[in-house]
């Protein structure tokens, strides 16, 4: 069994690392908020820095909020790069964060120039998918690197697809986030409409789940909207970040994403109303403010 490193043990990273430990691997762990005691009890080894993780591990996973965080962990003081050359063996960095495809390509080039491999492998499925090892994983890597890391990814996800070269995984994740964000907003509008018109939103959701409007978003986020469960989950600030990436890339490509921009403005309003750490389903709160009406769960 090869040694594995995992850096970033938040809402998503903690259960993902746990699946790797239960898969029989020795994990070397680091997180700026501290390594959860639960993972240490399962056999994980806490490390004081990303450098220490890289000194021990052959494959190093990252699960971090944004590109500056990834850059700091990789190339900052006591970063991963500082620990790569402890032995001459080629190592592999697998970034499972959701960050800019442009920055990803830059990071991949820098790691490659040092003689090591890089893969971007962002995920979809949220905290529920992470806990249930049911994530969808979109990979940007060479075929050989993909085949090397796929058994490990299979411990964390169910649908694992090699999209293309470095950066392609992040391009796919950006597309995913456009679909997810716009669908969350649409579910919010639909449930707000139904409730204001006098129907039971829970029964409307139940009926829609059996038709063409059915989706994972309607199932999970629709329930959160009705039950007022706005603890994350996937934070509004991260949803905003992902849509910023989409709109920035769209600008570079010279294309218009009008509904993505409109949805982004609603997430901006969430943050303006103190919702940085709300679950991304809380976009419905802004729709409710615009309507001066709050969805009512008549079964509450």
Residue from 173, 203, 227, 289 carrying the catalytic annotation: 173
Q: Tell me the C-alpha distance between 186 and 203, whole Å.
A: 17
Structure-block tokens of residue 131? 């806990």
Is residue 16 helix, strand or coil?
helix
Task: Report how far apart, in Å, the C-alpha atoms of 73 and of each of 62, 77, 122, 230, 293 are.
Answer: 9, 8, 17, 30, 44
Q: How many CB atoms lie within 10 A of CB 182?
A: 17
> Torsions phi, psi of 160, nearest 5?
-125, 120
Rounded CA Rg of the chain = 20
Task: Report how far apart, in Å, the C-alpha atoms of 61 and of each of 36, 79, 193 are.
Answer: 16, 13, 43
For the question of residue 173 being annotated catalytic, the response is yes
Q: How many CB atoms lie within 10 A of CB 208?
A: 19
Is residue 270 helix, strand or coil?
helix
Give the residue numbers annotated as catalytic, written as ranges.
173
């Amino acid at each position: 069994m090869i040694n594995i490193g995992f850096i970033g043990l938040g809402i998503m990273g903690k259960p993902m690392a746990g699946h790797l430990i239960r898969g029989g691997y020795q994990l070397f762990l680091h997180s700026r908020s501290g390594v959860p005691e639960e993972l240490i009890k399962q056999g994980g080894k806490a490390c004081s820095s990303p450098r220490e993780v890289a000194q021990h591990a052959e494959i190093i996973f990252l699960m971090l909020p944004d590109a500056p965080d990834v850059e700091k962990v990789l190339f900052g003081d006591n970063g991963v790069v500082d620990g790569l050359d402890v032995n001459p063996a080629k190592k592999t960095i697998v970034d499972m964060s959701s960050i800019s495809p442009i920055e990803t390509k830059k990071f991949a080039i820098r790691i490659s120039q040092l003689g090591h491999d890089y893969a971007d492998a962002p995920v979809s499925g949220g905290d529920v998918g992470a806990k249930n090892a049911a994530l969808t994983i979109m990979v940007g890597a060479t075929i050989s690197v993909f085949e090397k890391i796929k058994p490990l990814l299979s411990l964390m996800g169910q649908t694992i697809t090699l999209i293309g070269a470095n950066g392609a995984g992040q391009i796919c994740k950006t597309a995913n986030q456009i679909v997810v964000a716009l669908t969350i907003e649409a579910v919010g509008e639909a449930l707000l409409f139904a409730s204001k018109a006098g129907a039971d939103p829970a029964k409307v959701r139940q009926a829609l789940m059996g038709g063409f409007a059915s989706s994972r978003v309607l199932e999970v986020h629709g329930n959160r909207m009705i039950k007022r469960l706005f603890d994350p989950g996937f934070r509004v600030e991260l949803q905003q970040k992902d849509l910023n990436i989409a709109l920035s890339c769209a600008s570079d490509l010279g294309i218009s994403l009008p509904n993505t921009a409109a949805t982004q403005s609603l997430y901006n309003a969430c943050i303006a109303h103190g919702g940085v750490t709300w679950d991304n389903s809380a976009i419905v709160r802004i729709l409710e403010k615009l309507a001066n009406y709050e969805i009512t769960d008549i079964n509450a």
